[in-house]
Structure 1
Amino acid sequence: MLDTLNTMLVDALGPAGPLIAVAGLAALMLLLAVPMVMNAKPDPLDKLKETGRKRLEAETRAVLREKRRNEKLNKYAQFLEPQDAKELSAIRTRLLQAGYRSKDSVQVYYFAQVVLGLGLLALGTAYYFGAVDSPDASIKQKLIYIIGPGAVGYMAPKYWVTRRVAERQDEIQRGFPDALDMMLVCVEAGQSMDQSIVRVAAEMRASYPALADEFQIIANEMKAGKDKAAVLSDMSDRCGVQDISSFVTVLNQAATFGTSIADALRVYAGEMRDKRVMRAEEAANKLPTKMTLVTMMLTVPPLLIILVGPSAVGIANMGNIGQ
């Protein structure tokens, strides 16, 4: 068989026919093997290692950036932080309620106040002396054009934080009844309190991210071994919502007296649902009062024009005829 094939190759390709056939077959196998290697799926373990390496590098870069920024701000910490411990604790709690949990958030807050205040003060001064300055300008005008922008820049971070706190608390308050219902379902299904908190944090991420962040922080602190009562109390301070404070009190009392957490959650979840319905009814009852002024502004002027307009036109025509 091999001799016949060899003879055929020699007759067809000459004395080097067998070598040419072997080389062609090797080239064909190489051409078929390259696409297969290129399209081969990567090893899941290698992919997992690569993902972990990239994540570690990203976290390392973030830590280094944070460290460099902290070093720059720490040089001026005595000027960017209140020296009173009570005031420092109050502003730190306020920033936590706004969702700013970084270590240097207080310094950044006061730095923003100083930069915006001085920057807008300089801009206001330049604008006044460049475009408005005149011998007849009063002290009031000078204060408005010079001091006004500086005051606005100084108060802007405080206004931003206050608005952010209000929006975040409103989001937490709206999503808390749903989170309680989901937690109750998880506990009644046999999961522990820690597992239910992790599940709620994952499920609430899309609709209420602020509330999901709080539950995720609780889960991480419990995994780290922190006392559960202290973890829940910290959550109450970070949120600043009365419903969360009552929830923390309910869980701490259930743990202290050894009562069923599922029963406590069932009762409190029902109260939260009723409270949400009451808030909706309160908002609906306020709507007619809020709409009264708008309705009068949009309805009374056209009505007066329709009723009084013809009489006014008739009186004007009679005056013209008399003349």
Structure 2
Amino acid sequence: MIALIVALGVTIVLFMLTGQGKETPDPIQKFREQSRSQLGSNRRLGRSVDTSALRQRLDRFRSFLEPADKEELGEARMQMIQAGYHGRNAVRDFHAAKFVLALGGLLLGLAYSLVLPPAEGSSILLTVVPVLVPTLIGYYIPIYWVGKRRKERQTQIQRGFPDALDLLLICSEAGQSMDQSIARVARELKAGYPALAEEFATVSHEIKAGKDRLEVLKDMGERSGNADIRSFVTVLIQSATYGTSVADALRVYAAEMRDKRVMLAEEKANILPTKLTLGTMMFTVPPLLIILIGPSVHGVIVMLSTADFGL
């Protein structure tokens, strides 16, 4: 079994180094890399292009590390963006991390099996588990990390969105345009809700680049994965379609978001006594029983030990 696992790992590595590495080089790639390296120093969003040897090597295995289907690739990129990784090579780096960590876990398990081999006559399960467990752990560590980042980011966006609506309403009633309000909200929320501030900053930059505001806001709703933001975009579309005031629509929707926040807080407060009941029973009832019944049990034991039954 160990020999088969070693052969499988070596075969995968040789396949990557021989089969996938022989791709036809792009004659314009050199000029692209030069232009990207020149523009990288002027970028202010922290997404500079890394031209290191590792990243160039990963480019050779792009077809192996990225899904071939465009729909699957788009879904994978959307998941990485929702987790906060906006780089164009985020999907490739994610799959590369899974492969490298799984291979490292495989080698670690093989080394452990060689140093401390199982006893003779052991079952196949005891032989495979020391190799299989580190491999699975290394494979699922990137998946767990990305899922955790995605959930934390969506939670932060959900908590900060009512405050963002209030700031948008204040800026709109103060006479600022929607574009100016979005840029101001991005600056104000940077300290408290950096994920939501990043989304509003992206919207502001895309609007300045010439994209349609409603399309940019729709993209923001898809990136954030938040139903409230998508509903907010629908409200703005309806306001623009029927010609109603944006400030009035923001006022009504902001009030609904505040009511929703209060309802969520009340829901958590109502669930708290139920959660405390189990802890109260575990840490209060046993000491109470010991205090009340303990002396009686002790007296019965002493009486039975000193009693003379005439035997």
TM-score relative to the length of structure 1: 0.78
1:167 aligns with 2:152: yes
| 1:152-192 deviation line (CA, Å, top 9, x unaligned) | 11111111111111111111111110110011000011000
1:246 aligns with 2:231: yes
Aligned counterpart for 1:134 among listed residues 111, 119, 129: 119
Cα pair 2:40 2:48 within 8 Å, conserved: no
Alignment of 1:16-35 (within 5 A): none
What amino acid is aligned across from residue 194 of structure 1 in structure 2? D
TM-score relative to the length of structure 2: 0.81
Aligned counterpart for 2:65 among listed residues 68, 80, 88: 80
Instruction: Give the direction of change, closer, same or farther, for the CA distance of 1:144–1:289 in structure 2 (3 Å limit).
Output: farther
| 1:281-322 deviation line (CA, Å, top 9, x unaligned) | 011111111112111111122122112221221122122213
Aligned to 1:177: 162
- Measure the CA separation in 2 of the matches of 1:286 and 1:171: 21
- Measure the CA separation in 2 of the matches of 1:298 and 1:138: 43
**What is the aligned residue count?**
269
3-state SS in 2 of match to 1:247 = helix
Cα pair 1:187 1:262 within 8 Å, conserved: yes
Percent identity over the alignment is 52
- The answer to which of 224-233 and 69-78 deviates more is 69-78
Instruction: Give the direction of change, closer, same or farther, for the CA distance of 1:156–1:62 in structure 2 (3 Å limit).
Output: closer
Mark the structure with the bigger radius of gyration: 1
- Measure the CA separation in 2 of the matches of 1:297 and 1:131: 42
Instruction: Give the direction of change, closer, same or farther, for the CA distance of 1:256–1:62 in structure 2 (3 Å limit).
Output: closer
What amino acid is aligned across from residue 281 of structure 1 in structure 2? E
Cα pair 2:81 2:223 within 8 Å, conserved: yes
Instruction: Give the direction of change, closer, same or farther, for the CA distance of 1:254–1:71 in structure 2 (3 Å limit).
Output: farther
- How far residue 129 of structure 1 moved from its aligned partner, in angstroms, is 3.2
- How far residue 227 of structure 1 moved from its aligned partner, in angstroms, is 1.4
Alignment of 1:238-317 (within 5 A): 238-317=223-302
- How far residue 72 of structure 1 moved from its aligned partner, in angstroms, is 2.8
- How far residue 57 of structure 1 moved from its aligned partner, in angstroms, is 4.5
- The runs of 5 or more residues in structure 2 that have no matched partner are 1-38
- The runs of 5 or more residues in structure 1 that have no matched partner are 1-54
3-state SS in 2 of match to 1:294 = helix
Instruction: Give the direction of change, closer, same or farther, for the CA distance of 1:105–1:130 in structure 2 (3 Å limit).
Output: same
